[in-house]
Structure 1
């Protein structure tokens, strides 16, 4: 237990540092961005430090603070969001909305009006954002009308939490609607796993089936929204039933040592700490909320052991690199925030009973 506590402290220390400093830019990074923009049409280098990877790190520190009341977590969250506000609090893309999820927590703790103003701004950005199909929010409107599953985990929890906290039914319904639309249009009937995306105008499913992080984004989007969707909402029962069914299908792909591979059905493929941590974070949340049976603890415990074995000096290694679009999944495995954040969050959640 002592060793696990030391490891948890190291995880949190690195997560706090990454929240304030990721991404770090140098000449090599800038040169790589130029090359990537040529190779990958539509590639956009995020020069802001207030993007979706930071949102996952903020989420981890929220759970760390909620479970331990460590003031360092709160101080780092305040520094992060204050810096965003000082820089002009620009919101240019929907994936930045994930930062709003934990900002709601920070507002509830501090009651600082500047945080509420930023929350309102994020909400209005999403409400005003062009929609396609049945009110779905496309990932990049200037590139195509494609719906990416990533957006569910980045947008829906914020919308539903905002709606619940500030009594805004429109926000809840918009968030829940994104999930329901994906259940109807983006799933593979044979495996029960999601495609990476779909195009509502062409009625086509896009990308591969069962990309590990896609599954993680879907499950996070569902469970972190379900907590804030009223049970009498017209979408609640459908999302809850789908979440339970998808989880039951997903866990059949877990390796005996606890990991999930970068593509779930590629059983002999590379293990992926980002997919494993995101999926098991969502399962753990499902147990805590009473939506999933406590028997799933065996799934999350063995996964956590695997994840902790992947930690080196507080950093979670073995995460697949950033996806560049449908069917573009670089087979490069290192330490990235999209494994660091969910692993830290799962570790925090595992300190309290399910």
Structure 2
């Protein structure tokens, strides 16, 4: 893998997609000048004979020369989508040994974490569960490099879990500003990091307590957000029933959003990487995973193999086949088969979805740059301006190409297929 010779410069960056020139992104980062010599991946043509996982990762590295730029950020920002792409980069580096990939990850950590362990743009007091996801990148880097600043940053992120506001049954609020609310998104944002951290640093009773707490989050989601008729899960639940989007009887939001369901599936398969084999909650999560995949298959578009933005309303006006959720479903199912959580029967549905992505949502330019199209940029509930969770709301949010919430899962899904 010597088609790329060196990594990206830190201090002079060209943001191709953001269209903004940045310099001196972080004056706290000091690197040996030898690391900043020779050309970058920006000028390289991406070989078309590489696996799709590497082709997409290299395309992301060209679009976003620094990993903090992922999600079209214009300044260094601690942002959960970055971690998904970098998880793929970690796996690809471990496979290939190509330092270009490792440097992309390492530069992100060095840029975002100051020498005192503080994290650029992170505010603990907000108790935003989204902020925990990037902790997985630091867990990887700390185990590789043993830098004290990463340990301090990890301890700060772990302290957020201890202070995170909770529902009456112990479920994490999505954010402090979203009181009494559990969102499907939050299971992916918080639980894999929580489990990963526990597996590295906790022992004995402390670890048991943490694993029990993690499993309880999934139990509560199944209890409160599952639709018994379809097997699908609603985007969110408000225990207080105070939100405008919340049903006054159930507290549920009104629709099944594709990416919310995608986050939940990824949360389950990724938490199982760290949950001990003998933990009693493991079998429950696998049972939730099977129910989930069965429900997802029922709403899979039979012609393309893809999934709609609002999952159960494919025939309604304005709905569209959406890339981020589709990539997440494919990853969840294929990883479940590879890990033997589910039988091989599910592979044909994952394969149909993957082939649908390649055929309908992937484009490649003359320089080998791979793009993933028809990504929902963002969707949520509440806030200001207020997001109602209606069908009209979901289908009218911005659609863009190469959202890392899609390219990251696409890389991970590709890696699962490349194991075959």
Tell me, yes or no, whether TM beats 0.5: yes
Tell me, yes or no, if structure 1 residue 172 matches structure 2 residue 211: yes
Tell me, yes or no, if structure 1 residue 317 matches structure 2 residue 373: yes
Aligned counterpart, 1:300: 350
Aligned counterpart, 1:267: 314
Tell me, yes or no, if structure 1 residue 10 matches structure 2 residue 45: no
Aligned counterpart, 1:22: 70
* Alpha-carbon shift at residue 248 of structure 1 (Å): 1.5
Aligned counterpart, 2:411: 344
* Alpha-carbon shift at residue 284 of structure 1 (Å): 1.7
Tell me, yes or no, if structure 1 residue 258 matches structure 2 residue 308: no
CA–CA separation in structure 1 for the residues paired with 2:55 and 2:143: 27
Aligned counterpart, 1:217: 263
* Alpha-carbon shift at residue 98 of structure 1 (Å): 0.8
Question: For the aligned residues, what is the CA RMSD?
Answer: 2.3
How many residue pairs end up in the alignment?
332
CA–CA separation in structure 2 for the residues paired with 1:147 and 1:8: 32
Which of 63, 71, 92 is the equivalent residue of 2:99? 71
> For each residue in 1:188-237, what CA deviation from the matched residue of structure 2 results, as whole angstroms up to 9, or x when unmatched?
11100001111224473322332111110111111111221123323222
> For each residue in 1:255-289, what CA deviation from the matched residue of structure 2 results, as whole angstroms up to 9, or x when unmatched?
23221111111223300010101111111221222
Aligned counterpart, 2:340: 290
Aligned counterpart, 2:11: none
CA–CA separation in structure 2 for the residues paired with 1:227 and 1:151: 18
CA–CA separation in structure 1 for the residues paired with 2:98 and 2:355: 24
Aligned counterpart, 2:246: none
* Alpha-carbon shift at residue 331 of structure 1 (Å): 4.2
* Alpha-carbon shift at residue 75 of structure 1 (Å): 1.0
CA–CA separation in structure 1 for the residues paired with 2:173 and 2:69: 29
Tell me, yes or no, if structure 1 residue 84 matches structure 2 residue 119: no
CA–CA separation in structure 2 for the residues paired with 1:245 and 1:24: 35
Describe the shift of the 1:172–1:346 C-alpha distance in structure 2 as closer, same or farther (beyond 3 A).
same
Describe the shift of the 1:160–1:9 C-alpha distance in structure 2 as closer, same or farther (beyond 3 A).
closer
Tell me, yes or no, if structure 1 residue 116 matches structure 2 residue 166: no
Task: Report the 3-state secondary structure (helix = DSSP H, G, I; strand = E; otherwise coil) of the residue aligned with 1:142.
Answer: coil
Aligned counterpart, 2:399: 333
Describe the shift of the 1:11–1:81 C-alpha distance in structure 2 as closer, same or farther (beyond 3 A).
same
Tell me, yes or no, if structure 1 residue 150 matches structure 2 residue 196: no
CA–CA separation in structure 2 for the residues paired with 1:146 and 1:184: 14
* Alpha-carbon shift at residue 158 of structure 1 (Å): 0.8
8 A Cα contact 2:323 2:357, kept in partner: yes
Task: Report the 3-state secondary structure (helix = DSSP H, G, I; strand = E; otherwise coil) of the residue aligned with 2:262.
Answer: helix
Task: Report the 3-state secondary structure (helix = DSSP H, G, I; strand = E; otherwise coil) of the residue aligned with 1:198.
Answer: strand
> For each residue in 1:84-133, what CA deviation from the matched residue of structure 2 results, as whole angstroms up to 9, or x when unmatched?
10393124421011111233223223333332222221111111122122
Task: Report the 3-state secondary structure (helix = DSSP H, G, I; strand = E; otherwise coil) of the residue aligned with 1:315.
Answer: strand
* Alpha-carbon shift at residue 7 of structure 1 (Å): 4.7
Normalised to the residue count of structure 1, the TM-score between the two structures is 0.86
Consecutive unaligned residues in structure 1, runs of 5 or more: 27-46
> Relative contact order: is structure 1 or structure 2 higher (C-alpha 8 Å, sep ≥ 6)?
1
Q: Which has the larger radius of gyration?
A: 2
Tell me, yes or no, if structure 1 residue 58 matches structure 2 residue 86: yes
8 A Cα contact 1:196 1:214, kept in partner: yes
Q: Which structure's residues are more often helix, by fraction?
A: 1
